[in-house]
Amino acid sequence: MSPRGLVPPADVAAAAALVVRDYMAVRAGEDVLITADTGTDPALAEALMSAVTQASARPSLLTIPRLPFQGRLADPYVPPSVEGAARECSVWLDITFPYLAGARVCDEAVQSGGVRYLLGGDMGCTGLSRLFGDVDLDLYYEVHKGFDEVTGAAVGRSVRITDGLGSDVSFVLAKPAFSKPRRSWVCRSRCCAPTRMVRSRPPLKSRRGNASEHWY
């Protein structure tokens, strides 16, 4: 049982298997690190552990205290054991939130250590089933590719977003910060759960306006 609702165990297992075998392309004999925190849905961690084992790979689960920040602001709070574990794994499934992506330990593991990393965020078993069990990922990535082509052709142009609740935000569209592969075949790859399509970080000086609180 997930704290976000009931999901049939078979559905959770099928979604976890898709993440491991298909999305992250885990191969037999690989060492797979799963990082969780004290707020993580324990059933999700168990499902991923089981899926890794069934893929004939070697799983390790490391649970840490929930981080107060993300990115480099989290560096002082990341236990040293995470760095050691990340250095020795081939695949890293991160289901902490705030997540470890952007922290020094993650950047070094991906860029220098050749780790294939998944940013799972704060999804529980319900989210896992919805994102990986109820979605045709091949079709999703066809749409994603088209969206990338449209936004890629508009890099450098000004964007303005408004709504009826008072939001009025503008910025310059920047190049994507990283690619989002359909499958994590190669080392030094960073994957996200298939939710957000935009991975652009607009230049700080170009950002103007305010967003209404319903955005958050």
Cα gap 114→97, rounded to integer Å: 23
Cα gap 213→166, rounded to integer Å: 9
Structural domains for the chain = 9-133 (3.40.50)
Question: 8: cis peptide before it, omega within 30°?
Answer: no
Digit-by-digit pLDDT tens for the chain (216 residues) are 444 458 899 999 999 999 999 999 999 999 999 999 999 999 999 999 999 999 999 999 999 999 999 999 999 999 999 999 999 999 999 999 999 999 999 999 998 878 999 999 889 999 999 999 988 888 988 888 888 888 889 999 998 989 888 889 999 998 876 667 778 755 555 666 665 545 566 777 777 887 765 544
Q: What is the pTM of this model?
A: 0.80
Cα angle value 107/194/77 (rounded, 5°): 35
Q: Strands 31-37 and 91-94, how do they pair?
A: parallel
How many Cβ atoms sit within 10 Å of the Cβ of residue 212? 13
